[in-house]
Each structure stands twice: as structure tokens, then as C-alpha cells.
Amino acid sequence: MTLREYILRWQEICDKNQSRSTTYAAHGCLFKNHILPGLGDIPLSELTVERVGEFLEERKHFGGHRPESPEYPRLGEHTMRHIHRLLQQCLDQAVREGLITDNPARAFRYPKPRKISANVLTPTKIEDYLDAAKRLGHLPMFLLALTAGLRQRELIALKWSDLDVKKWTLTISEGRSVEQRKLVEYKGRTRTIGLPLELVELLAEEHARHPGSPLMFMHPATQKPYLPQTVRRLHREILKEAGLDHIRFQDIRHTCAVLSLQNGMGIKEVAQMLGHFRATMTWQNYEAYLTQEVVQQMEQSDQTTENELRQAVDLLENLLEF
């Protein structure tokens, strides 16, 4: 059995039944454009760690296109990790079925990811950006994105019921998404963050524009959720209106994270706000964008917490002696 034959069977039996429709479609693209052309004809039993490493290196540099053509850039880090993880996931099942003894994709150690590259807006540019968003009629959506550091998919999938106007909090359902212009609910974590009163009132005004819809943000023409590409287009229009250089939409999230840390919010609080699984991830991503003074303050705060923990342990040991 070749890897191609096994993957096609795995897609039909496992992936199709266990993944979201959008995830299944994305997997299909990665298989079709990358994994199958590079490894598909190799017998499953002959797939080795070395072959996996060579394949990933080739994809990283040439992206599956002619290496001599400058029109096709190398694949990004994010795509490369998706390819590697998908290959691992697929071959795990082959191990469970006894078709192979070890998973060569898991044995291959992919280099640690580089720290994020972010274009962080200055306070002056943030003011220009928000002023432009207000002039164009998009202030509620983009002020929320900047205040809460929401991912694009989280922003467009918000419901009005996620907002507690009395407690000034917003609950983000990480398992909810927009698929084919409809909200789809999957199992996933939720996180609740606080919002300033001014933003809560602004969101209430936004909802008053379409009170019959459960959506936080509804496309005025389609009466349905915004599509990701529509949000990116609106973001570009705001930048143009503000006279700012181009930045990615995710840089709004990065700006929120960096400014929150610079203004004294704790690393754990920022991690919780952003939906990071571990605070170490937040620290690794944003340490380079902080001033030395802020870094020292955080280190001192960590040391204080550690000292308090030691004192608590000593007290407990003393109590146990009696």
C-alpha cells in the first residue's frame, strides 16, 4: 500500500467523520498540493524519518513549485507546521492499525518556530485608525478587536448574547465559527474578558441597528455574518482612510497584546484575554516588543510571587510540625 492509497482511505474513514467541514477541506488541500505530490508514491512501509525530513525541507524552500521560478515564494512557517501535524495525525492511525510500527513524522523534530513578527501601532496611529473606522461607520467592530485582541474568526462569530451589559463582560466561544455564512457551534473552550463601559455602550448601539438578529455584527447587505475576507477589506479601507501604511489584521491583535503588557497588565491576564493555552507562549511572542523597564517589572512581579509561595510553604511546614 502506498502512502497515497492509505491517505485517501484515512480521509474517507477518519478525517471526514471527525473534522469540521472547513478543516476537512483544508486537509484535502494540503494533501493534494503538498503531501501527495511529494510522498504519495512511496510505499507506506518504506516511509522513513529521513524521507519525511527531506520532503519538509523541499516544501519549505520551494513550496511545491519550480525552484527556479522567483514568482513562487517559499512556504510560510504556519503552513509548514500544518503539513507536518497533518502527516503526524494521519500516520498515528496507521500505527494503531498495525500497518507501521513507528510514526516517522513524529520522530522527525521540526525546528522551533520563530517569534512572531508584528507591526505594533503607536498610540497616535491607534487614534488615527479608530477615527477613520468611526468615519467609515465600522468603529464598534474594530474597537472591540483592538480592545480585546480577538482573532478574526472569533470576531465575526460573536453573538449578542455573548455580551453581558450589566457585568461589562464578553464571553468568547472558541469552538464557534462562520461556515458558508452561517454560525456553526463545535465543542471548544470559552473565555470571558472584561470590557470598558464605553465599549459596552457602543456595542449596545450597534445591536440596536439590527435588534432582531442574534449576531453581534451583521453584514448590512446580506443580513448574515461577515466573511473573513470582508473584514480584511474593511481593515484595508480604514488604513487607507487614516493614511497609515499597510498592516495585517492580526497586527491589531498584536497591538492589543503589546500595549496591554506595557500598561501593566500581567502576563497571565494577557494570555487569558488572548486565549493562549499557556502564558509562556504569550511571553515568548511579545517579550521582544517590550521596553526593558516593563520586562524588569514583570520579572520582579514573578519573583514576588515566588517569594510569597515560599513563605506559604514554610508556614505550612511549621504548622505540620505541631
Task: Supply the pLDDT for residue 57.
Answer: 81
Torsion-angle region of residue 180: left (phi > 0), alpha (psi -120 to 50) or beta? left
Task: Supply the pLDDT for residue 273.
Answer: 94
First to last CA, the chain: 69
Task: Supply the pLDDT for residue 67.
Answer: 42
pTM: 0.60
Encode 253-275: b = buried (16+ Cβ within 10 Å), e = exposed.
bbbbbbbbbeeeeebebbbebbb
Task: Supply the pLDDT for residue 293.
Answer: 59
* Residues of each domain in the chain carrying CATH 1.10.150.130: 3-107
Task: Supply the pLDDT for residue 286.
Answer: 83
The predicted-structure confidence for 145-164, as pLDDT tens digits, reads as follows 999 999 999 999 999 999 99
Round to whole Å and give the CA distance between 307 and 54: 49
* Residue 67 dihedral angles phi and psi, to the nearest 5°: -65, -20
Q: Are 238 and 129 in contact (CB under 8 A)?
A: yes
Q: Would you give per-residue pLDDT tens digits along the chain (322 residues)?
A: 999 999 999 999 998 888 888 888 889 989 998 899 889 999 999 999 988 988 888 877 655 444 444 444 456 667 788 889 999 999 999 999 999 999 999 888 766 655 567 788 999 999 999 999 999 999 999 999 999 999 999 999 999 999 999 999 999 998 888 888 888 888 778 999 999 999 999 999 999 989 999 999 999 899 999 999 999 999 999 999 999 999 999 999 999 999 998 888 888 899 899 998 778 778 878 877 766 655 565 555 544 444 544 555 454 445 444 4
Look-up: residue for cell 510514526?
A: 103
* Residue 127 CA from chain centroid, whole number: 25
Task: Supply the pLDDT for residue 301.
Answer: 53
* Residues of each domain in the chain carrying CATH 1.10.443.10: 123-246
- Residue range 3-107 forms a domain whose CATH class is mainly alpha
CATH topology of domain 123-246: hpI Integrase; Chain A (1.10.443)
CA-atom Rg of the chain in angstroms: 24
